[in-house]
A = this chain, B = another copy of it.
Protein backbone atom coordinates (compact mmCIF):
# COMPACT_ATOMS: atom_id res chain seq x y z
CA UNK A 1 0.00 0.00 0.00
CA UNK A 2 1.28 3.43 -0.96
CA UNK A 3 0.04 6.37 1.08
CA UNK A 4 -0.91 8.54 -1.86
CA UNK A 5 -4.62 8.34 -1.15
CA UNK A 6 -4.20 8.24 2.62
CA UNK A 7 -7.41 9.19 4.37
CA UNK A 8 -9.62 8.75 1.33
CA UNK A 9 -12.33 6.17 1.97
CA UNK A 10 -13.73 3.65 -0.45
CA UNK A 11 -16.59 5.27 -2.36
CA UNK A 12 -19.99 3.68 -1.78
CA UNK A 13 -23.51 4.38 -2.93
CA UNK A 14 -25.45 6.42 -0.40
CA UNK A 15 -28.34 7.70 -2.51
CA UNK A 16 -29.51 11.11 -3.61
CA UNK A 17 -29.99 12.38 -0.08
CA UNK A 18 -26.32 12.06 0.80
CA UNK A 19 -24.18 15.16 1.12
CA UNK A 20 -21.01 13.12 1.60
CA UNK A 21 -18.47 14.20 -0.99
CA UNK A 22 -16.93 10.74 -0.89
CA UNK A 23 -20.06 8.83 -1.84
CA UNK A 24 -22.06 8.04 -4.94
CA UNK A 25 -25.49 9.59 -5.04
CA UNK A 26 -26.61 7.96 -8.31
CA UNK A 27 -24.18 5.21 -9.21
CA UNK A 28 -25.35 2.01 -7.59
CA UNK A 29 -23.48 -0.75 -9.42
CA UNK A 30 -25.92 -3.49 -8.56
CA UNK A 31 -29.12 -1.62 -9.34
CA UNK A 32 -30.88 -3.24 -12.26
CA UNK A 33 -31.83 -1.01 -15.17
CA UNK A 34 -33.65 -2.47 -18.16
CA UNK A 35 -32.70 -5.93 -17.02
CA UNK A 36 -28.99 -5.36 -16.53
CA UNK A 37 -26.87 -4.23 -13.59
CA UNK A 38 -25.84 -0.60 -13.80
CA UNK A 39 -22.19 -1.56 -13.67
CA UNK A 40 -22.64 -3.75 -16.73
CA UNK A 41 -24.44 -1.00 -18.59
CA UNK A 42 -21.88 1.67 -17.96
CA UNK A 43 -18.63 -0.33 -17.89
CA UNK A 44 -16.59 2.57 -16.51
CA UNK A 45 -12.90 2.75 -17.22
CA UNK A 46 -10.18 4.95 -15.74
CA UNK A 47 -7.63 6.33 -18.24
CA UNK A 48 -4.05 5.73 -17.15
CA UNK A 49 -2.64 8.65 -19.15
CA UNK A 50 -4.70 11.52 -17.81
CA UNK A 51 -4.96 10.23 -14.26
CA UNK A 52 -1.45 8.97 -13.63
CA UNK A 53 0.90 10.11 -16.42
CA UNK A 54 -0.17 13.67 -17.27
CA UNK A 55 1.98 16.26 -15.47
CA UNK A 56 -0.52 19.12 -15.73
CA UNK A 57 1.10 21.08 -18.57
CA UNK A 58 -0.66 23.13 -21.19
CA UNK A 59 0.63 25.10 -24.18
CA UNK A 60 1.60 28.00 -21.92
CA UNK A 61 2.78 26.23 -18.81
CA UNK A 62 4.59 23.21 -17.54
CA UNK A 63 4.08 20.60 -14.87
CA UNK A 64 1.82 21.45 -11.95
CA UNK A 65 1.39 17.99 -10.43
CA UNK A 66 4.22 16.66 -8.29
CA UNK A 67 3.53 12.95 -8.20
CA UNK A 68 5.96 10.69 -6.33
CA UNK A 69 6.01 8.28 -9.30
CA UNK A 70 7.05 10.82 -11.93
CA UNK A 71 10.33 9.82 -13.52
CA UNK A 72 11.61 7.39 -16.06
CA UNK A 73 12.47 4.15 -14.28
CA UNK A 74 10.81 0.78 -14.00
CA UNK A 75 10.49 1.14 -10.25
CA UNK A 76 8.57 4.39 -10.58
CA UNK A 77 6.40 2.84 -13.28
CA UNK A 78 5.53 0.08 -10.83
CA UNK A 79 4.77 2.56 -8.10
CA UNK A 80 2.48 4.35 -10.54
CA UNK A 81 0.69 1.07 -11.26
CA UNK A 82 0.30 0.39 -7.55
CA UNK A 83 -1.27 3.80 -6.99
CA UNK A 84 -3.52 3.26 -10.01
CA UNK A 85 -4.90 0.04 -8.60
CA UNK A 86 -5.45 1.70 -5.25
CA UNK A 87 -7.60 4.28 -7.00
CA UNK A 88 -9.44 1.61 -8.98
CA UNK A 89 -10.29 -0.02 -5.66
CA UNK A 90 -11.38 3.23 -4.03
CA UNK A 91 -13.72 3.89 -6.96
CA UNK A 92 -14.82 0.34 -7.58
CA UNK A 93 -13.84 0.96 -11.18
CA UNK A 94 -14.58 -2.11 -13.27
CA UNK A 95 -12.06 -1.22 -16.02
CA UNK A 96 -8.99 0.76 -16.98
CA UNK A 97 -7.34 1.72 -20.28
CA UNK A 98 -3.71 2.41 -21.18
CA UNK A 99 -1.17 3.36 -23.85
CA UNK A 100 2.22 1.65 -23.76
CA UNK A 101 3.85 5.03 -23.04
CA UNK A 102 1.66 5.56 -19.96
CA UNK A 103 2.78 2.44 -18.20
CA UNK A 104 6.39 1.79 -19.16
CA UNK A 105 9.50 3.96 -19.34
CA UNK A 106 10.70 4.73 -22.87
CA UNK A 107 13.81 2.74 -23.72
CA UNK A 108 16.78 3.86 -25.77
CA UNK A 109 15.89 1.31 -28.45
CA UNK A 110 12.81 -0.48 -29.61
CA UNK A 111 14.04 -3.64 -27.94
CA UNK A 112 14.47 -1.91 -24.61
CA UNK A 113 11.03 -0.32 -24.76
CA UNK A 114 9.61 -3.73 -25.57
CA UNK A 115 11.30 -5.31 -22.58
CA UNK A 116 10.12 -2.48 -20.35
CA UNK A 117 6.58 -2.95 -21.55
CA UNK A 118 6.69 -6.66 -20.94
CA UNK A 119 7.99 -6.22 -17.41
CA UNK A 120 5.31 -3.70 -16.53
CA UNK A 121 2.58 -5.77 -18.14
CA UNK A 122 3.63 -8.62 -15.85
CA UNK A 123 3.46 -6.28 -12.88
CA UNK A 124 0.02 -5.04 -13.86
CA UNK A 125 -1.11 -8.61 -14.46
CA UNK A 126 -0.11 -9.43 -10.89
CA UNK A 127 -2.02 -6.47 -9.56
CA UNK A 128 -5.09 -7.47 -11.59
CA UNK A 129 -5.10 -10.86 -9.89
CA UNK A 130 -5.95 -9.21 -6.61
CA UNK A 131 -8.43 -6.78 -8.10
CA UNK A 132 -11.86 -6.77 -9.70
CA UNK A 133 -10.69 -4.21 -12.24
CA UNK A 134 -10.24 -5.41 -15.81
CA UNK A 135 -8.80 -3.96 -18.98
CA UNK A 136 -11.30 -2.23 -21.27
CA UNK A 137 -8.72 -1.49 -23.92
CA UNK A 138 -5.08 -1.02 -24.64
CA UNK A 139 -3.51 1.14 -27.29
CA UNK A 140 -0.18 2.39 -28.58
CA UNK A 141 1.05 5.92 -28.18
CA UNK A 142 2.16 6.74 -31.71
CA UNK A 143 2.10 10.49 -31.29
CA UNK A 144 4.16 11.83 -28.39
CA UNK A 145 7.71 10.94 -29.35
CA UNK A 146 9.41 13.12 -31.94
CA UNK A 147 9.83 10.16 -34.26
CA UNK A 148 6.07 10.34 -34.91
CA UNK A 149 6.01 14.08 -35.62
CA UNK A 150 5.14 13.46 -39.30
CA UNK A 151 2.84 10.52 -38.70
CA UNK A 152 3.02 6.86 -37.74
CA UNK A 153 1.36 4.65 -40.37
CA UNK A 154 1.26 7.67 -42.69
CA UNK A 155 4.83 8.83 -42.18
CA UNK A 156 6.89 9.71 -45.25
CA UNK A 157 9.62 7.52 -43.77
CA UNK A 158 8.97 3.77 -44.07
CA UNK A 159 11.08 3.16 -40.97
CA UNK A 160 8.51 5.01 -38.88
CA UNK A 161 5.79 2.82 -40.35
CA UNK A 162 7.89 -0.16 -39.33
CA UNK A 163 8.44 1.14 -35.80
CA UNK A 164 4.72 1.83 -35.49
CA UNK A 165 3.69 -1.58 -36.75
CA UNK A 166 6.08 -3.30 -34.38
CA UNK A 167 4.82 -1.15 -31.52
CA UNK A 168 1.19 -1.95 -32.23
CA UNK A 169 2.02 -5.63 -32.30
CA UNK A 170 3.52 -5.32 -28.83
CA UNK A 171 0.54 -3.40 -27.54
CA UNK A 172 -1.88 -5.92 -28.99
CA UNK A 173 0.09 -8.68 -27.31
CA UNK A 174 -0.05 -6.80 -24.01
CA UNK A 175 -3.76 -6.15 -24.38
CA UNK A 176 -4.44 -9.79 -25.08
CA UNK A 177 -2.26 -10.93 -22.20
CA UNK A 178 -4.17 -8.66 -19.81
CA UNK A 179 -7.52 -9.87 -21.12
CA UNK A 180 -8.48 -6.60 -22.78
CA UNK A 181 -11.98 -6.33 -24.21
CA UNK A 182 -10.92 -4.10 -27.10
CA UNK A 183 -7.89 -2.69 -28.86
CA UNK A 184 -7.99 0.98 -29.89
CA UNK A 185 -6.19 2.96 -32.59
CA UNK A 186 -6.05 6.74 -32.40
CA UNK A 187 -4.32 8.44 -35.28
CA UNK A 188 -2.98 11.40 -33.40
CA UNK A 189 -0.38 12.18 -36.02
CA UNK A 190 -2.15 10.56 -38.97
CA UNK A 191 -2.98 13.74 -40.76
CA UNK A 192 -1.08 16.73 -42.02
CA UNK A 193 0.14 20.18 -41.11
CA UNK A 194 0.26 21.49 -44.68
CA UNK A 195 -0.99 20.06 -47.95
CA UNK A 196 2.11 21.49 -49.62
CA UNK A 197 4.29 18.63 -48.44
CA UNK A 198 1.65 15.90 -48.24
CA UNK A 199 0.78 12.99 -50.52
CA UNK A 200 -2.80 12.34 -49.44
CA UNK A 201 -3.31 9.31 -51.61
CA UNK A 202 -0.23 7.46 -50.50
CA UNK A 203 -0.82 8.28 -46.85
CA UNK A 204 -4.38 6.96 -46.95
CA UNK A 205 -3.32 3.81 -48.73
CA UNK A 206 -0.59 3.16 -46.19
CA UNK A 207 -3.06 3.75 -43.38
CA UNK A 208 -5.48 1.30 -44.95
CA UNK A 209 -2.75 -1.30 -45.32
CA UNK A 210 -1.66 -0.77 -41.71
CA UNK A 211 -5.18 -1.31 -40.43
CA UNK A 212 -5.50 -4.48 -42.49
CA UNK A 213 -2.31 -5.78 -40.83
CA UNK A 214 -3.80 -5.03 -37.42
CA UNK A 215 -6.95 -6.95 -38.29
CA UNK A 216 -4.91 -9.84 -39.69
CA UNK A 217 -2.83 -10.00 -36.52
CA UNK A 218 -5.92 -9.97 -34.36
CA UNK A 219 -7.21 -13.03 -36.13
CA UNK A 220 -3.82 -14.70 -36.10
CA UNK A 221 -3.43 -14.46 -32.34
CA UNK A 222 -7.09 -15.16 -31.71
CA UNK A 223 -7.79 -11.89 -29.95
CA UNK A 224 -11.51 -11.92 -29.20
CA UNK A 225 -11.85 -8.20 -28.50
CA UNK A 226 -12.97 -5.51 -30.90
CA UNK A 227 -10.62 -3.33 -32.94
CA UNK A 228 -11.70 0.29 -32.50
CA UNK A 229 -10.74 3.51 -34.26
CA UNK A 230 -11.16 6.79 -32.43
CA UNK A 231 -12.15 9.71 -34.67
CA UNK A 232 -10.86 13.22 -34.12
CA UNK A 233 -10.93 16.12 -36.56
CA UNK A 234 -7.80 18.09 -35.78
CA UNK A 235 -5.42 18.83 -32.93
CA UNK A 236 -2.59 18.08 -32.86
CA UNK A 237 -2.53 18.17 -36.68
CA UNK A 238 -4.20 20.76 -38.85
CA UNK A 239 -6.22 17.97 -40.38
CA UNK A 240 -6.49 14.40 -39.14
CA UNK A 241 -7.64 11.61 -41.37
CA UNK A 242 -10.01 10.03 -38.84
CA UNK A 243 -12.08 13.23 -38.80
CA UNK A 244 -15.42 11.91 -37.56
CA UNK A 245 -17.71 8.89 -37.71
CA UNK A 246 -18.79 9.47 -41.31
CA UNK A 247 -15.20 9.91 -42.46
CA UNK A 248 -13.96 6.77 -40.73
CA UNK A 249 -16.90 4.83 -42.16
CA UNK A 250 -15.87 5.90 -45.68
CA UNK A 251 -12.29 4.88 -44.91
CA UNK A 252 -13.38 1.46 -43.69
CA UNK A 253 -15.58 0.93 -46.75
CA UNK A 254 -12.73 2.02 -49.02
CA UNK A 255 -10.48 -0.68 -47.62
CA UNK A 256 -13.18 -3.29 -47.06
CA UNK A 257 -12.83 -3.24 -43.27
CA UNK A 258 -16.28 -2.07 -42.19
CA UNK A 259 -17.13 -5.48 -40.73
CA UNK A 260 -13.88 -5.75 -38.82
CA UNK A 261 -13.51 -2.42 -37.10
CA UNK A 262 -15.80 -0.36 -34.89
CA UNK A 263 -15.46 3.10 -33.37
CA UNK A 264 -14.51 4.56 -30.04
CA UNK A 265 -16.32 7.88 -29.99
CA UNK A 266 -15.40 10.81 -27.79
CA UNK A 267 -17.66 13.69 -26.87
CA UNK A 268 -14.92 16.29 -27.23
CA UNK A 269 -13.87 15.03 -30.63
CA UNK A 270 -17.47 15.07 -31.83
CA UNK A 271 -17.79 18.68 -30.76
CA UNK A 272 -14.55 19.71 -32.46
CA UNK A 273 -15.83 18.15 -35.69
CA UNK A 274 -18.99 20.26 -35.51
CA UNK A 275 -21.30 17.48 -34.35
CA UNK A 276 -23.18 16.76 -31.18
CA UNK A 277 -21.98 13.68 -29.33
CA UNK A 278 -25.37 12.01 -29.75
CA UNK A 279 -25.17 12.57 -33.49
CA UNK A 280 -21.92 10.68 -33.72
CA UNK A 281 -23.32 7.85 -31.62
CA UNK A 282 -26.57 7.64 -33.56
CA UNK A 283 -24.72 7.67 -36.86
CA UNK A 284 -22.28 4.98 -35.80
CA UNK A 285 -25.16 2.85 -34.55
CA UNK A 286 -26.99 3.36 -37.82
CA UNK A 287 -23.89 2.26 -39.75
CA UNK A 288 -23.28 -0.71 -37.47
CA UNK A 289 -19.93 0.52 -36.17
CA UNK A 290 -20.71 1.77 -32.66
CA UNK A 291 -18.14 0.31 -30.30
CA UNK A 292 -17.24 2.27 -27.19
CA UNK A 293 -17.20 5.80 -25.84
CA UNK A 294 -14.83 8.30 -24.28
CA UNK A 295 -17.09 10.19 -21.93
CA UNK A 296 -15.62 13.55 -21.26
CA UNK A 297 -16.75 17.08 -21.84
CA UNK A 298 -15.30 19.79 -23.99
CA UNK A 299 -15.71 23.42 -23.21
CA UNK A 300 -18.07 24.82 -25.84
CA UNK A 301 -16.21 28.12 -26.00
CA UNK A 302 -12.74 26.62 -26.38
CA UNK A 303 -11.50 25.39 -29.72
CA UNK A 304 -9.33 22.56 -28.51
CA UNK A 305 -9.73 19.31 -26.65
CA UNK A 306 -10.30 20.31 -23.03
CA UNK A 307 -11.04 16.75 -21.86
CA UNK A 308 -12.95 17.70 -18.74
CA UNK A 309 -14.91 15.34 -16.57
CA UNK A 310 -18.55 15.28 -17.70
CA UNK A 311 -21.08 17.08 -15.56
CA UNK A 312 -24.21 17.91 -17.52
CA UNK A 313 -26.54 14.99 -17.07
CA UNK A 314 -29.38 16.04 -19.41
CA UNK A 315 -26.91 16.35 -22.25
CA UNK A 316 -25.25 13.06 -21.34
CA UNK A 317 -28.62 11.37 -21.21
CA UNK A 318 -28.95 12.04 -24.94
CA UNK A 319 -25.80 10.00 -25.44
CA UNK A 320 -26.88 7.08 -23.29
CA UNK A 321 -30.27 7.09 -24.95
CA UNK A 322 -28.59 6.40 -28.29
CA UNK A 323 -26.51 3.67 -26.70
CA UNK A 324 -29.61 2.05 -25.23
CA UNK A 325 -31.39 2.29 -28.58
CA UNK A 326 -28.42 0.53 -30.15
CA UNK A 327 -28.73 -2.28 -27.63
CA UNK A 328 -26.09 -1.14 -25.15
CA UNK A 329 -22.39 -1.87 -25.05
CA UNK A 330 -21.06 -5.30 -25.95
CA UNK A 331 -17.26 -5.14 -25.62
CA UNK A 332 -17.26 -1.36 -25.27
CA UNK A 333 -17.70 0.82 -22.23
CA UNK A 334 -17.51 4.32 -20.78
CA UNK A 335 -13.92 5.45 -20.60
CA UNK A 336 -13.12 8.70 -18.82
CA UNK A 337 -10.68 10.21 -21.27
CA UNK A 338 -10.86 13.18 -18.97
CA UNK A 339 -8.26 15.00 -16.99
CA UNK A 340 -8.61 16.99 -13.85
CA UNK A 341 -7.78 20.65 -14.37
CA UNK A 342 -4.12 21.50 -13.94
CA UNK A 343 -5.00 23.52 -10.86
CA UNK A 344 -6.57 20.46 -9.19
CA UNK A 345 -3.43 19.44 -7.36
CA UNK A 346 -4.68 17.22 -4.56
CA UNK A 347 -5.20 13.45 -4.51
CA UNK A 348 -8.79 14.14 -3.45
CA UNK A 349 -9.32 16.07 -6.68
CA UNK A 350 -8.36 13.04 -8.72
CA UNK A 351 -10.69 10.72 -6.86
CA UNK A 352 -13.62 13.12 -6.65
CA UNK A 353 -13.44 14.01 -10.33
CA UNK A 354 -14.08 10.36 -11.08
CA UNK A 355 -16.80 10.16 -8.46
CA UNK A 356 -18.56 13.10 -10.06
CA UNK A 357 -18.14 11.68 -13.55
CA UNK A 358 -19.43 8.25 -12.60
CA UNK A 359 -22.35 9.69 -10.72
CA UNK A 360 -23.39 11.98 -13.54
CA UNK A 361 -23.19 9.12 -16.03
CA UNK A 362 -25.36 6.99 -13.77
CA UNK A 363 -27.89 9.77 -13.45
CA UNK A 364 -27.93 10.21 -17.22
CA UNK A 365 -28.28 6.49 -17.85
CA UNK A 366 -31.20 6.23 -15.46
CA UNK A 367 -32.98 9.14 -17.12
CA UNK A 368 -32.39 7.68 -20.57
CA UNK A 369 -33.60 4.27 -19.45
CA UNK A 370 -36.78 5.70 -17.96
CA UNK A 371 -37.65 7.42 -21.21
CA UNK A 372 -36.70 4.40 -23.25
CA UNK A 373 -38.90 2.22 -21.08
CA UNK A 374 -41.72 4.73 -21.28
CA UNK A 375 -41.71 4.36 -25.06
CA UNK A 376 -43.34 7.71 -25.85
CA UNK A 377 -40.41 9.07 -27.77
CA UNK A 378 -40.01 5.99 -29.93
CA UNK A 379 -43.75 5.94 -30.54
CA UNK A 380 -43.65 9.55 -31.71
CA UNK A 381 -40.75 8.81 -34.01
CA UNK A 382 -42.49 5.78 -35.50
CA UNK A 383 -45.69 7.76 -36.02
CA UNK A 384 -43.82 10.46 -37.90
CA UNK A 385 -42.55 7.97 -40.48
CA UNK A 386 -45.62 5.74 -40.55
CA UNK A 387 -46.42 6.76 -44.12
CA UNK A 388 -43.37 4.88 -45.30
CA UNK A 389 -44.77 1.61 -44.03
CA UNK A 390 -47.58 1.58 -46.60
CA UNK A 391 -47.33 -0.66 -49.65
CA UNK A 392 -47.66 2.41 -51.90
CA UNK A 393 -44.63 4.03 -50.37
CA UNK A 394 -42.60 0.86 -50.61
CA UNK A 395 -43.65 0.42 -54.21
CA UNK A 396 -42.55 3.95 -54.97
CA UNK A 397 -39.09 3.19 -53.61
CA UNK A 398 -38.88 0.34 -56.09
CA UNK A 399 -39.97 2.48 -59.05
CA UNK A 400 -38.35 5.26 -61.08
CA UNK A 401 -38.40 9.03 -61.54
CA UNK A 402 -40.67 8.73 -64.58
CA UNK A 403 -43.18 6.50 -62.83
CA UNK A 404 -43.23 8.79 -59.84
CA UNK A 405 -43.76 11.87 -61.99
CA UNK A 406 -46.63 10.17 -63.74
CA UNK A 407 -48.24 9.41 -60.40
CA UNK A 408 -47.72 12.95 -59.05
CA UNK A 409 -49.43 14.33 -62.15
CA UNK A 410 -52.19 11.73 -62.20
CA UNK A 411 -53.03 11.96 -58.52
CA UNK A 412 -52.42 15.69 -58.16
CA UNK A 413 -50.16 15.04 -55.20
CA UNK A 414 -49.57 18.25 -53.25
CA UNK A 415 -48.15 17.45 -49.83
CA UNK A 416 -49.11 19.55 -46.84
CA UNK A 417 -46.38 19.83 -44.18
CA UNK A 418 -46.97 18.50 -40.68
CA UNK A 419 -45.49 19.82 -37.47
CA UNK A 420 -42.15 18.37 -36.46
CA UNK A 421 -43.11 18.94 -32.81
CA UNK A 422 -39.55 19.56 -31.67
CA UNK A 423 -40.42 21.56 -28.56
CA UNK A 424 -43.03 19.03 -27.45
CA UNK A 425 -40.44 16.27 -27.73
CA UNK A 426 -37.93 18.37 -25.83
CA UNK A 427 -40.51 18.85 -23.10
CA UNK A 428 -41.09 15.11 -23.06
CA UNK A 429 -37.35 14.64 -22.75
CA UNK A 430 -37.18 17.06 -19.88
CA UNK A 431 -39.85 15.14 -18.03
CA UNK A 432 -37.37 12.28 -17.72
CA UNK A 433 -34.04 13.97 -17.03
Contact = CB atoms under 8 A, between A and B. Distances in A.
A2 interface: no
Interface string A355-367: 1100110000000
A225 interface: no
Question: Which applies to chain A's interface (DSSP): helix, strand, loop or mixed?
Answer: helix
A356 B430 contact: yes
**Interface size, A (range):** 35 or more
A251 B253 CA distance: 10
Contacts of A56: 146, 149
Contact of A145 (B62, B381, B387): B62
8 contacts: A60-B235, A149-B420, A150-B417, A195-B282, A197-B422, A201-B286, A244-B247, A343-B422
A348 to B, nearest CB: 7
Nearest to A307: B59
B309 A312 contact: no
A377 B196 CA distance: 7
A344 B419 contact: yes
A8 interface: no
A402 interface: yes
Contacts of A360: 430
A306 to B, nearest CB: 8
A310 B161 CA distance: 33
Given A149-B61, A250-B246, A415-B163, A405 B170 contact: yes
| 7 smallest beta-carbon distances between A and B, as pairs | A303-B303, A250-B250, A343-B420, A166-B405, A353-B423, A158-B393, A159-B415
A423 B21 contact: no
B417 A279 contact: no
